[in-house]
Structure 1
Amino acid sequence: MRRLRQLAAHTPAGRERYVDLLRALAIVMVVLGHWSVAAIGEDPTGRPTARSALPDLPWAYPLTWVAQVMPVFFLVGGYANAASLTARRAAGGDAVSWLLDRGARLLRPTTALLLVIAASSAVASLAGVEATLVRTVAWFATIPLWFLAAYLVVVPLTPAMYALHRRFGLLVPLALAALVAAGDLGRALGPAELALPNYLFGWLAVHQLGFAWRDARAEPPGRPDAPARPDAPPRRGVRSHRLPLSRRAGGTALLGGLAATVLLTVGPYPVAMLNVPGERLDNAAPPSLALLTLTTAQLGLILLLRDPAERWLRRSRPWQAVIAVNAVVLTVFLWHLTAAILLVGALDAAGELPTPPVGSAAWLAWRVPWVLMLAVVLAALVAVFGPVEARTGPTGRARDRRRADGGGTPAQGPGPTGRPHDTGRPHDTGQPAGPGWRGTARAAVTAAGFAAVVYALVVNAETPKSAPEPLGVPASALAAYLAGAGALRLLRSGWGSRG
């Protein structure tokens, strides 16, 4: 609590606290949503099974417009990445060192999850548990990693996409939305694989809106001669295509986005914005045009609520709570389904696992104690694994000291995992390698490291949950992940940066 009070008291006056609140709320809503729609049953052998209850709850489909908050996370990520990249460059750092720091904050807690799953699976396999059952449990536990795979594709593209944003502004997300619409048309007329590029185009479009929000905050209109903040990048290119932040603009985006989403879902798109097994199309995987119009409405609502939310966050206790959640926000996201697995296993072992029919009064009543018990289990997991994300080694402690002393510039945005953001300095353990073959090699290894990690997460997601995998995760995927994450860790420690 003392450290939280220090961080809250020394928060720079110009920080966009609302961004941190949105990230925390988005992840909490994802967790509560997954828990609330879980339908627990038993297979013919008496083993517990789990599935989504949404196919049996068509009345809940419109509620998914509120529950689908992954666009908010990418929007906030765009804001954060634009702010920290700009600050890093202003301090003399380069894009590769920035990317290594960003990757570390995402991969540390992810590595902890994968190693625990692999080790637990190996023990279970050695104890005689069927490899297919081991994989099924691991498959459920690693469902959150599909989102991380998408985000780890978007983050390395930030330097190039931010340059496009500085040149063309809102024309970039509009062009990406057009590509998403083309992908939707392709999967409507042909094989579903024609829409696979939408995983990239759709999330990039939302990420670009985060850039636009950050720059509109950093550069007030009517001041083309000077930046509002010390780290604001120089203006160039088409500056008329900027994101308006007024309440009128927010209302227009909210109403326009909702109207467009209604028209699209009355037409060829399903109403549900979350995955519903059996639906003719999934609005979120990959992102569809309907999801982008809903994102526009969400952005409008965000703009409308921004001023009262910022006033509320000026109070110490709400802001301390936001800091606390953001310090472990990725840990909460990664482990929330593991918490469900552990609770189901414990209740089943005790013979107390309720399996009421989905939609019945008993099932609805069970939602409250179910979520409360899951929260307790998740809190225990966060207590164990949260420190991996919140504070890791001497570098993390040094960064904490800088933050407590008021380190960081007012313009910096929050980090991708929600902890108080970068100081804008190059990372502690290594400086940019500079031009020439050494810098080129460093950039190439960084790209290869990210590619290996994304490959591993995609392979795991695509491997059937009934596949015989004694490690829970495919061995090839685990090897690729550890190789990629290890290479990035070596680079961040300074390997390859010195002669």
Structure 2
Amino acid sequence: MRRLARLAARTPADRERYLDLLRALAIVLVVFGHWMIATIYYGPHGRPDGHSALPAMPWAYPLTWVVQVMPVFFLVGGYANAASLASQRARGGDAPGWLLGRSARLLRPTTALVLVLAGSALIARLVGAEPGQVRTVVWFATVPLWFLAAYLAVVPLTPVMYALHRRFGLAVLAVLALLVALGDLGRAFGPAGLALPNYLFGWLAIHQVGFAWYDARRGNCQPTGITNPTTGTRPGTEAGSKPSESSGRTEGFARVRTRCLPMSRRAALLMIAGGLAVAVLLTGPGPYPVSMINVPGERLDNAAPPSVVLLAVATAQLGLILLLRERAERWLHRSRPWQAVIGVNSVVLTVFLWHLSAVILLVGALDALGVLPTPAAGTGAWFAWRLPWLLMLSAVLAVLVTIFGPIEARTGRSTATRHQPADQQSTSQHRPNTAQRHRWAVARGATAVAGYAAVVYAMAANSVAAKTAPDPFGLPVAALVAYLVGAGALRLLRSGWGSRG
């Protein structure tokens, strides 16, 4: 508590505390949402298995418009990435150094999960467990990695996407939304492969909104490079000029290309109304499913990859978030609530990564004791079991967070500041020339991006691999090797390799 009090006292006055609250709430909602819809049953071989309760409760589909909070996480991530990148550059750092700093917080807790699961799977195989069963357990425990793969694919693109945002403003968001719509047309009419880029375009679009929020907070609203095409000057800056039809069109164009998110109450209400209207039209008379969470048997999945309906729902969510912002900020300037938010955020990724492992441990324990309830989804017994189920899972997860949370908490402070440009680390006796520094910077940046790519590939490959494959480590060997190589390369760069010419 004293540590949290010290951290709270050192919080900068201009920090957008509301975003920290949103991050914590988003992850907590994901965890409780997964637990809430889980239905456990005994399979044909007499072993516990599970599936989603949503197909048995179609009346709950509209509720997924509230509990589908992945867009909130990407929104917060966009703001946080823009803020940390700007801070890194203000200190004289570079984009590769920023990437390495972000990788520490994201990959250290993830590596702990991967190593523990791979080691446990190997031990289980050695003591005679069935290979397919081991893989099924590990597959379920690593379901959170598919979401993390999407986020890790977006992070390395932040320097480029933020530069585009600074140049073209919200026009970048409009282009990304259009690309998502084109991908949806591919899903509807073919070829279906046109929708695959939506895994990137959809989350990038929401990530860009975070940039716009950051610029609105900093008052950096006008994109760079907007000039009058006739005079070469910015609108309204011509000496002695009078408003004309041409200058009016130019000013209107500049407003369209603003870099700032509209933060007014009126804008928030328009986002809610517009987002809901589009979502209702596309899911009612339209071809999209109502649920924003995957339902087995549905022809389309609104979240994998993101669809235009998910973007519409995210717009409505954004409007609601903006409506509550000022009141939430005032509340978070009280000591106790802010300390609680800091505490949750210090281990929030650990909570997310291990919450399905908690399910495995609890189900295994109850099954071993012969007291595992298996009520049918949507029945009165199933709803009555929800409260003790959630309480017991919370207790198991609390133990896991106690064990593995310190790994994340220790990496809470940015490691990016340790990576100074090569010319700042060189001594007077050995200072590399400009060409050498440039070559090292390029090599370092390329290695960092390759490390991210290897990790994303590993997580994606694990997610799409068969969940009964007889893998010796419970993970596809190629995916495990790619992950260890990618994470190892990033760790090597963080230790200082490649920062000297």
**Normalised TM-score (structure 1):** 0.89
SS at match of 2:39: strand
Q: Which residue of 1 aligns with 2:446?
A: 444
Q: Which residue of 2 aligns with 1:229?
A: none
- Following TM superposition, by how much is the alpha carbon of 1:443 offset from its aligned partner in structure 2, in angstroms? 1.1
For 1:458 and 1:222, the matched residues in 2 are separated by 38
- Following TM superposition, by how much is the alpha carbon of 1:9 offset from its aligned partner in structure 2, in angstroms? 1.4
For 2:315 and 2:493, the matched residues in 1 are separated by 38
Give 1:26-45 correspondences, 5 Å limit.
26-45=26-45
Residues 208 and 97 (structure 1), Cα distance of their counterparts in 2 relative to 1, 3 Å cut: same
Letter in 2 for 1:444: A
**Normalised TM-score (structure 2):** 0.89
- Following TM superposition, by how much is the alpha carbon of 1:165 offset from its aligned partner in structure 2, in angstroms? 0.4
Q: Which residue of 1 aligns with 2:401?
A: 382
- Following TM superposition, by how much is the alpha carbon of 1:46 offset from its aligned partner in structure 2, in angstroms? 1.1
For 2:33 and 2:268, the matched residues in 1 are separated by 26
Letter in 2 for 1:341: I
Contact 1:313 1:319 in 2 (8 A): yes
Q: Which residue of 2 aligns with 1:245?
A: 263
Establish whether residue 6 from structure 1 lines up as the match of residue 6 from structure 2: yes
Q: Which residue of 1 aligns with 2:474?
A: 472
Q: Which residue of 2 aligns with 1:121?
A: 121
Q: Which residue of 2 aligns with 1:413?
A: none
Flag the structure with larger Rg: 2
For 1:220 and 1:175, the matched residues in 2 are separated by 21
Q: Which residue of 1 aligns with 2:186?
A: 186
Residues 432 and 79 (structure 1), Cα distance of their counterparts in 2 relative to 1, 3 Å cut: farther
The sequence identity of aligned pairs, in percent, is: 69
Residues 222 and 130 (structure 1), Cα distance of their counterparts in 2 relative to 1, 3 Å cut: closer
* Aligned with residue 427 of structure 1, among 417, 429, 435: 417
Contact 2:422 2:500 in 1 (8 A): no
- Following TM superposition, by how much is the alpha carbon of 1:269 offset from its aligned partner in structure 2, in angstroms? 0.7
Give 1:484-499 correspondences, 5 Å limit.
484-499=486-501
Q: Which residue of 1 aligns with 2:56?
A: 56
Q: Which residue of 2 aligns with 1:419?
A: none
For 2:261 and 2:67, the matched residues in 1 are separated by 25
Q: Which residue of 2 aligns with 1:200?
A: 200
For 2:86 and 2:301, the matched residues in 1 are separated by 35
Q: Which residue of 2 aligns with 1:455?
A: 457
For 1:201 and 1:438, the matched residues in 2 are separated by 31
Letter in 2 for 1:325: V
* Aligned with residue 370 of structure 2, among 326, 336, 351: 351
Q: Which residue of 1 aligns with 2:338?
A: 319
Give 1:147-158 correspondences, 5 Å limit.
147-158=147-158
- Following TM superposition, by how much is the alpha carbon of 1:265 offset from its aligned partner in structure 2, in angstroms? 0.7
Which has the higher mean CA deviation after the structures are superposed, 432-441 or 378-387?
Answer: 432-441
Q: Which residue of 2 aligns with 1:365?
A: 384
- Following TM superposition, by how much is the alpha carbon of 1:192 offset from its aligned partner in structure 2, in angstroms? 3.2
Contact 1:168 1:238 in 2 (8 A): no
For 1:373 and 1:457, the matched residues in 2 are separated by 29
SS at match of 2:418: coil
Letter in 1 for 2:81: N
Establish whether residue 169 from structure 1 lines up as the match of residue 169 from structure 2: yes
For 1:222 and 1:360, the matched residues in 2 are separated by 55
Letter in 2 for 1:263: L
For 1:344 and 1:369, the matched residues in 2 are separated by 13
For 1:134 and 1:272, the matched residues in 2 are separated by 31
Establish whether residue 295 from structure 1 lines up as the match of residue 297 from structure 2: no
- Following TM superposition, by how much is the alpha carbon of 1:191 offset from its aligned partner in structure 2, in angstroms? 4.5
Contact 1:76 1:210 in 2 (8 A): yes
Letter in 2 for 1:10: R
Letter in 1 for 2:271: A
Letter in 2 for 1:428: R
SS at match of 1:454: helix
For 2:58 and 2:392, the matched residues in 1 are separated by 27
- Following TM superposition, by how much is the alpha carbon of 1:466 offset from its aligned partner in structure 2, in angstroms? 1.0
Q: Which residue of 1 aligns with 2:305?
A: 286
- Following TM superposition, by how much is the alpha carbon of 1:91 offset from its aligned partner in structure 2, in angstroms? 1.0
Aligned length: 458
For 1:295 and 1:138, the matched residues in 2 are separated by 31
Contact 2:93 2:419 in 1 (8 A): no
Establish whether residue 74 from structure 1 lines up as the match of residue 74 from structure 2: yes
For 1:365 and 1:17, the matched residues in 2 are separated by 37
For 1:253 and 1:432, the matched residues in 2 are separated by 46
Letter in 1 for 2:261: L
Letter in 2 for 1:347: L
- Following TM superposition, by how much is the alpha carbon of 1:364 offset from its aligned partner in structure 2, in angstroms? 0.6
Letter in 2 for 1:100: L
Letter in 2 for 1:486: G
SS at match of 1:436: helix
- Gaps spanning 5+ residues in structure 1: where? 225-236, 400-421
For 1:431 and 1:375, the matched residues in 2 are separated by 44
For 1:445 and 1:432, the matched residues in 2 are separated by 16
Contact 1:198 1:288 in 2 (8 A): yes
Q: Which residue of 2 aligns with 1:101?
A: 101
Residues 192 and 57 (structure 1), Cα distance of their counterparts in 2 relative to 1, 3 Å cut: farther
- Following TM superposition, by how much is the alpha carbon of 1:426 offset from its aligned partner in structure 2, in angstroms? 4.6
- Following TM superposition, by how much is the alpha carbon of 1:221 offset from its aligned partner in structure 2, in angstroms? 6.5
Give CA deviations for 1:324-351 in whole Å, capped at 9, x if unaligned: 0000000000000000000000000000
- Following TM superposition, by how much is the alpha carbon of 1:447 offset from its aligned partner in structure 2, in angstroms? 1.3
- Following TM superposition, by how much is the alpha carbon of 1:70 offset from its aligned partner in structure 2, in angstroms? 0.1
For 1:447 and 1:428, the matched residues in 2 are separated by 19
Contact 1:78 1:209 in 2 (8 A): yes
For 2:445 and 2:37, the matched residues in 1 are separated by 43
For 2:399 and 2:191, the matched residues in 1 are separated by 44
- Following TM superposition, by how much is the alpha carbon of 1:146 offset from its aligned partner in structure 2, in angstroms? 0.2
Establish whether residue 306 from structure 1 lines up as the match of residue 335 from structure 2: no
Give the 4+ runs in structure 1 shifted more than 6 A.
Answer: 220-224
